[in-house]
Amino acid sequence: MNFAIIPWDENGLGDRMFDIKDKTLNVDHRLEQYYYMKKEFELKGDILHTIDFYVDLKQVDYFLFFELDIYWLKNLVDLHLEERMVYCNAEPPTVNKYNCKEGFKKLQKYFPYIMTWNDELVDEITVFKRNIPYYFEDKRENTPFENRKLLTCISGNKKSNHSNELYTERERVITFFEKNHPDKFDFYGGGWNKEKHPCYGGKIEDKSQIYHKYKFAIAFENMGNVKGYISEKILDCLTSGIVPIYEGAENIKKYIPEKCYISYCEFSSLNELANYLITMSEKEFNQYLEAADCFIHSEQIDLFSGQVYARYIYNVTVHATKTFRVSKINKLSLDFLVCVKNSKNKIKKGIHFLENMRK
């Protein structure tokens, strides 16, 4: 079979999203698992390229939309290839409001198949499971317990109106430790203001080099009250030798052993959390690191591999029903273009497309 990926942006075209030698794109090895995903397809005798590699789109069996790109959507509709489209975008609803139950109802007007990390939405009929791929690189250093500062956080300053967003809670924790334990806490990332947050240390280049200096890290997902949303937030901590304080996926234990992290929701107050961290012995701390070591050297991490992601995609091709039919594309609305608001060029193309469809 032939598979074509519509990447997140134009930088990934020309198969660059698989080029692990491209240091400008493969920052923090973020392309590694897509490289291995491609290799898995090739091992099975199938072909996977970014969509621009195909001269005749009718020769493609499945189109994998890693981004909702109106330009390519129009092309496939014009060629009557709607039933081969698979929506694979993995942003949480705090970033992309359509990646939720109600949003999927709208997406299903255009895509016969959807892939999601959300365990509660998978039905193996039109909605299929996938995890967010992650490349496990051991970046740990043997920094002595007594040489580590207590707590840090590495996160951008973001906002969302979603009811389950965790940006607000993350900032609440940051503000608490700044006020009550400023000598034990620093944090980093883009978009913060040092005048408002005196413990802010600016932007950084390498997470692991910062994590080596601390015992604990605030590792909150972008949203909570969901199942299956596991991102790099906690995994970066485990591979860097720092104990994460985690909040996010309700069923995190299904994916990562609970002895690897501190569950934020188990504390009734921030004072209780602070006391737990401050009074933890070196022996207790090392038990978390030992559990993390066992995890990152176990078969459990395969769930986040590119090879397994490829198998998730194959699952769509094997089990997806052919009875589902896409509604006429002229039902698209301008509101739907919120999904591609990060690209002015895509929005212009999308508006032009919609105007033409009305004629």
Backbone angles phi, psi at 185, to 5 degrees: -140, 140
C-beta neighbour count of 21 within 10 angstroms: 8
Residues found in the chain: 359
Residue 26 CA from chain centroid, whole number:
16
Secondary element (H or E) of residue 215: strand 214-220
Q: How far is CA 248 from the centre of its chain?
A: 12
- Predicted local confidence at residue 28, as pLDDT: 83
The reported pTM is 0.88
Q: What is the pLDDT along the chain (359 residues), one digit of tens a residue?
A: 999 999 999 999 999 999 999 988 988 888 999 999 999 999 999 999 999 999 999 999 999 999 999 999 989 989 999 999 999 999 999 999 899 999 999 999 889 999 999 999 999 999 999 999 999 999 999 999 999 999 999 999 999 999 999 999 999 999 999 999 999 999 999 999 999 999 999 999 899 999 999 999 999 999 999 999 999 999 999 999 999 999 999 999 999 999 999 999 999 999 999 999 999 999 999 999 999 999 999 999 999 999 999 999 999 998 765 544 444 444 444 345 444 444 445 444 444 444 444 34
Nearest to 34 by CA among 14, 16, 18: 18
C-alpha pair distances (Å), 144 with each of 83, 141, 235: 57, 9, 21
DSSP lists the bridge partners of residue 245 as 218, 262
Burial level of 141, CB count in 10 A (0-12/13-18/19+)? exposed
Tokens 């699952």 label which residue?
A: 315
For residue 182, what are its two tokens?
Answer: 């400023």
How does DSSP assign 283-311, residue by residue? HHHHHHHHHHHHHHTSGGGGGGSHHHHHH
Q: Is the domain 145-303 a CATH 3.40.50.11660 member? A: yes
Please count the CA atoms within 13 angstroms of the CA of 135 that sit on its side-chain side: 15
Distance CA 150, CA 145 (A): 10
Rounded to 5 degrees, φ, ψ at 162 are -65, 140
Domain positions in the chain: 2-133+306-326, 145-303
Please give the Cα distance from 359 to 357 (Å, whole number).
5
Give the residue from 191, 197, 193, 195 showing the smallest Cα distance to 178. 197
Three-state SS at 49: strand
